[in-house]
């Protein structure tokens, strides 16, 4: 066999005919490598079969014996069937019982040799196995399936776990000792990695002294090595593209001198927090570099990202460049416009707002201003750069509350011949592991601290039956001069129903509960002007209770609002609840967030509400959310920048990703990319990780 045996199609393996090859292919297994990198998902220690006579209640055990009797009993409960078998070895016999699996009568016939694996239970008639796992043992399987630590594979279509176990053994027996290793020797040594060949062998067929516990946690050196390999290859692709992008140059130069600094200092309404100061410095350093900035600014809700972006904007504008400031919703764009226009009112810079609902005529006028360069800073929704707007000299794009600056936006900028600095801002803390996958090519700045004087938010989880107390809590706040949010979920499938209940609730609160206060409704289906009117009235304190769907989730800033009630809190995701809660606690008062849930709640919902009540640390919440939901759901439908992985798990193996990221960047930036890796990155990376081109 040549050294590229590993890329041989599986159909050339002994025992794989055309039909089996087709089955394997359907399960995504085409080459020997595909097979070898489809790792066992769990392991069982069958290295020691226990004599039946030595079994003790409560232990987990494997026994090998002969089926000496078997019968299927039908219970009085209609249709409920119990299959009994007795398994005997030289030392004794034990009962085995399986509930509601009548087909076992055809499988476990007397005289068969079987391995039974499971918990040993004790009942009034003695020891037995209940619903234990079992395998019928034939001679040629003996070597693989018992008397050792046995790997278990997820069933893949018609490819059974046993079949895979056998195939893997066949392939391993043919796999040359000196297979090529994609990992550079320096990395292998530094990380003390097991050789590739050994890692593959020991991941599938661990030596008997391996710890089954470590194996099941994917912590053995062999498993870690294969996971590292995958993560490293993934990170090398990112590092390489990041490196390649740094060859691009901006069409403009930015200088920061005393005049620029003075101009920025003049608009500053408060003292920056240390986190803000560091972020500003990192961003401004980027602006001065010849390569376009591609930076993510992370800071929890209320951390004060807007001012950081605005300071960057001043630097750009002082250098004669235009700035586009984009928000995900018109409400937010309007709010940013208000804030920025106010802060820049004493400056010589002109700020405009352009959104989907800007009247046509006004749009034309604005477009002319932007094209001529008389508008210095334009605030809009994310569609801004995609619209037909032509910029005079676009230098900086700020994108608020969006996780990623998509392929489409980037392409449309390039199409306009633009290569601006890009600053993304997000308040959804991105767990480090995901930051290392989806955002691996970005630089990241963090604002870990909140501005001084913020009062902690008290979070209450209450059942529907305590609604009256909740109303009292709202009333206390309103009587003290504060304002309240009442949030309704808006799930797409039941949008109409939810809208109805939100509307009904607004009426109910107004007429029956809080007749002395003003209640208003805000939802996504309202006309823009109507939304604006409500928002402004709430911000101005003319509305006391805002009943809203989740449109307020991002960015709204009304410091006088000190209480939020989330209806049907059990329906919200963890990060979403965190975002919502961030709408209160923005002023100098103690704030409350009440999560009202409707019983019965699921275990998941209970976990979520418990987690959100336990902490206000956005990063802790994001990590927990990632654990509860898994990486795919974490971003919901908003993103799809996650790699297709075959050995590693983004949550379980996050520490490995961290190390792989560092090694890959170090290698690429240090010019150490081997020709093999170069070839991989250019021609096979995309296919292996199944990503759409990021940025
Ligand atoms: P976010 O990071 O959620 O976008 P904002 O930029 O909206 O936060 O800021 C939240 C509030 O905190 C605003 O009212 C802002 O004026 C205020 N703020 C921001 N930074 C500071 C600071 N360093 N000192 C005092 N208040 C600040
Ligand atoms: Mg914000």
Q: How confident is the model at residue 414 (pLDDT cuts 50, 70, 90)?
A: low
pLDDT computed for residue 500 by the predictor? 67
Q: For residue range 474-488, what is the model confidence (pLDDT) as tens digits?
A: 999 999 999 999 998
pLDDT computed for residue 496 by the predictor? 59
- Around 594, how many Cα atoms within 13 Å sit in the side-chain half-sphere? 23
| Rounded distance from Cα 301 to ligand 1 centre (Å) | 9
Q: Quickly list DSSP for 304-322.
A: -HHHHHHHHHHHHHHTT-E
Cβ pair 443, 292 in contact under 8 A: no
| Rounded distance from Cα 427 to ligand 2 centre (Å) | 7
Q: Pick from 106, 35, 99: which is nearest to 70 by CA? A: 106
Measuring from each residue's beta carbon to the nearest atom of ligand 1, which residues come in under 6 Å?
270-273, 276, 299, 301-307, 427, 451, 557, 586
More confident residue, 617 or 507: 507
Query: Same topology for domains 49-146 and 457-615, yes or no?
Result: no
Provide the residue ranges of all domains of the chain, joining segments of one domain with +.
49-146, 258-447, 457-615
Q: For residue range 107-146, what is the model confidence (pLDDT) as tens digits?
A: 999 999 888 989 999 988 889 999 998 888 766 555 666 6
Residue labelled with tokens 């750069």: 385
Q: Please give the class, per CATH, of domain 49-146.
A: mainly beta
pLDDT computed for residue 403 by the predictor? 56
Q: Which long-range contacts (CB under 8 A, 24 or more apart) does 511-518 make?
A: 513/471, 514/474, 514/475, 514/478, 514/544, 514/545, 517/478, 517/544, 517/545, 518/542, 518/543, 518/544, 518/545
Fold of 457-615: Rossmann fold (3.40.50)
Instruction: State which of 298, 301, 306, 329 you would mutate to test the pocket of ligand 1, scoring each by most atoms of that ligand within 8 A of its C-beta.
Output: 306
pLDDT computed for residue 332 by the predictor? 82
Cβ pair 127, 95 in contact under 8 A: yes
pLDDT computed for residue 411 by the predictor? 60
pLDDT computed for residue 634 by the predictor? 61
Q: Taking 80 as the threshold, does the pLDDT of residue 578 lie above it?
A: yes
More confident residue, 69 or 585: 69
Instruction: State which of 276, 298, 304 you would mutate to test the pocket of ligand 1, scoring each by most atoms of that ligand within 8 A of its C-beta.
Output: 304
The two three-digit tokens of residue 225, written as one number: 């090595």
Phi first, then psi: give them for residue 418, nearest 5 degrees: -110, 145
The two three-digit tokens of residue 121, written as one number: 């239970």
pLDDT computed for residue 662 by the predictor? 93
Q: Residue range 411-438: average pLDDT?
A: 76
| Rounded distance from Cα 302 to ligand 1 centre (Å) | 5
Q: Please give the class, per CATH, of domain 258-447.
A: alpha beta
Quote the radius of gyration of the chain (alpha carbons, Å): 31
For the ranges 36-45, 225-234, 393-402, 422-431, which has the lowest average pLDDT? 422-431
Q: How much is the mean pLDDT over the chain?
A: 87
pLDDT computed for residue 557 by the predictor? 79
First to last CA, the chain: 42
Highest mean pLDDT among 35-49, 389-403, 432-446, 661-675: 661-675
- Percent of the chain scored above 90 by pLDDT? 50
Q: Residue range 556-585: average pLDDT?
A: 88
What is d(CA 422, CA 287) in angstroms, rounded to the nearest whole number?
9
| Rounded distance from Cα 543 to ligand 1 centre (Å) | 23
Q: Pick from 656, 597, 662, 604: which is nearest to 633 by CA? A: 604
Give the pTM. 0.69
């Amino acid at each position: 066999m040549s050294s590229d045996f590993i890329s041989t199609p599986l159909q050339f393996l002994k025992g794989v005919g055309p039909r089996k090859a087709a089955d394997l292919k359907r399960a995504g297994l085409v080459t020997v490598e595909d097979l070898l990198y489809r790792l066992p998902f769990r392991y069982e220690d069958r290295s020691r079969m226990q004599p039946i006579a030595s079994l003790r209640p409560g232990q987990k055990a494997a026994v090998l014996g002969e089926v000496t009797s078997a019968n299927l009993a039908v219970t009085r409960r209609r249709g409920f069937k119990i299959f009994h078998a007795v398994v005997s070895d030289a030392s004794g016999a034990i009962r085995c019982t399986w509930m509601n699996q009548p087909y076992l009568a055809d499988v476990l016939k007397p005289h068969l040799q079987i391995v039974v694996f499971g918990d040993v239970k004790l009942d009034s008639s003695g020891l037995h196995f209940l619903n234990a796992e079992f395998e019928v043992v034939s001679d040629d399987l003996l070597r693989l399936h018992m008397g050792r630590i046995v790997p278990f594979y997820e069933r893949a279509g018609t490819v059974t776990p046993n079949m895979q176990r056998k195939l893997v053994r066949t392939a391993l027996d043919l796999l040359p000792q000196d297979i090529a290793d994609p990992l550079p020797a320096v990395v292998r040594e530094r990380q003390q990695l097991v050789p590739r060949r050994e890692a593959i062998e020991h991941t599938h067929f661990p030596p008997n002294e391996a710890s089954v516990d470590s194996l099941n946690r994917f912590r053995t050196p062999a498993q870690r090595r294969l996971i590292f390999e995958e993560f490293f290859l993934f990170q090398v692709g990112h590092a390489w593209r990041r490196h390649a992008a740094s060859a691009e140059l901006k069409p403009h130069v930015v200088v920061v001198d005393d005049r620029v600094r003075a101009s920025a200092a003049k608009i500053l309404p408060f003292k920056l927090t240390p986190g803000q100061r560091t972020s500003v410095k990192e961003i401004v350093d980027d602006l001065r570099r010849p390569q376009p900035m591609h930076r993510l600014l992370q800071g929890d809700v209320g951390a004060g990202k807007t001012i950081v972006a605005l300071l960057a904007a001043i630097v750009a504008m002082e250098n004669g460049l235009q700035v586009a400031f984009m928000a995900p919703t018109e409400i937010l764009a309007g709010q940013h416009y208000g804030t920025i226009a106010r802060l820049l009112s004493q400056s010589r810079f002109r700020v405009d707002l352009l959104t989907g609902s800007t009247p046509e005529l006004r749009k034309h006028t604005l477009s002319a201003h932007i094209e001529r360069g008389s508008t210095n800073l334009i605030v809009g929704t994310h569609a801004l750069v995609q619209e037909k707007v032509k910029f005079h000299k676009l230098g900086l794009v700020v994108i608020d509350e969006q996780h990623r600056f998509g392929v489409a936006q980037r392409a449309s900028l390039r199409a306009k011949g633009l290569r601006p600095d890009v600053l993304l801002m997000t308040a959804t803390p991105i767990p480090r592991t995901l930051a290392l996958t989806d955002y691996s090519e970005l630089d990241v700045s963090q604002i870990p601290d909140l501005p001084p004087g913020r009062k902690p938010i008290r979070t209450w989880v209450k059942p529907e039956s305590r609604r009256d107390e909740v109303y009292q809590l709202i009333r206390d706040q309103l009587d003290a001069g504060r304002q309240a949010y009442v949030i309704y979920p808006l799930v797409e499938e039941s949008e109409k129903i939810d809208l109805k209940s939100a509307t009904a609730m607004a009426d109910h609160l107004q007429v029956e509960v809080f007749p002395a206060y003003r209640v208003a409704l805000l939802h996504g289906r309202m006309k823009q002007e109507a939304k604006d009117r409500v928002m402004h009235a709430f911000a101005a304190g003319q509305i006391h209770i805002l009943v809203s769907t989740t449109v307020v989730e991002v960015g709204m800033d009304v410091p006088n609002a000190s209480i939020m009630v989330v209806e049907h809190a059990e329906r919200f995701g963890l990060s979403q609840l965190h975002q919502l809660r961030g709408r209160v606690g923005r002023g100098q008062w103690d704030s409350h967030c009440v999560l009202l849930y409707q019983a019965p709640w699921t275990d998941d919902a209970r976990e979520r509400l418990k987690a959100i009540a336990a902490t206000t640390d956005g990063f802790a919440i994001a990590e927990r959310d990632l654990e509860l939901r898994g990486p795919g759901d974490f971003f919901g439908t908003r993103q799809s920048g996650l790699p297709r992985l075959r050995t590693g798990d983004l949550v379980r193996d996050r520490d490995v990703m961290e190390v792989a990221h560092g090694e890959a960047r170090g290698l690429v930036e240090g010019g150490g990319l081997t020709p093999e890796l170069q070839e991989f990155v250019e021609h096979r990376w995309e296919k292996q990780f199944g990503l759409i081109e990021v940025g």
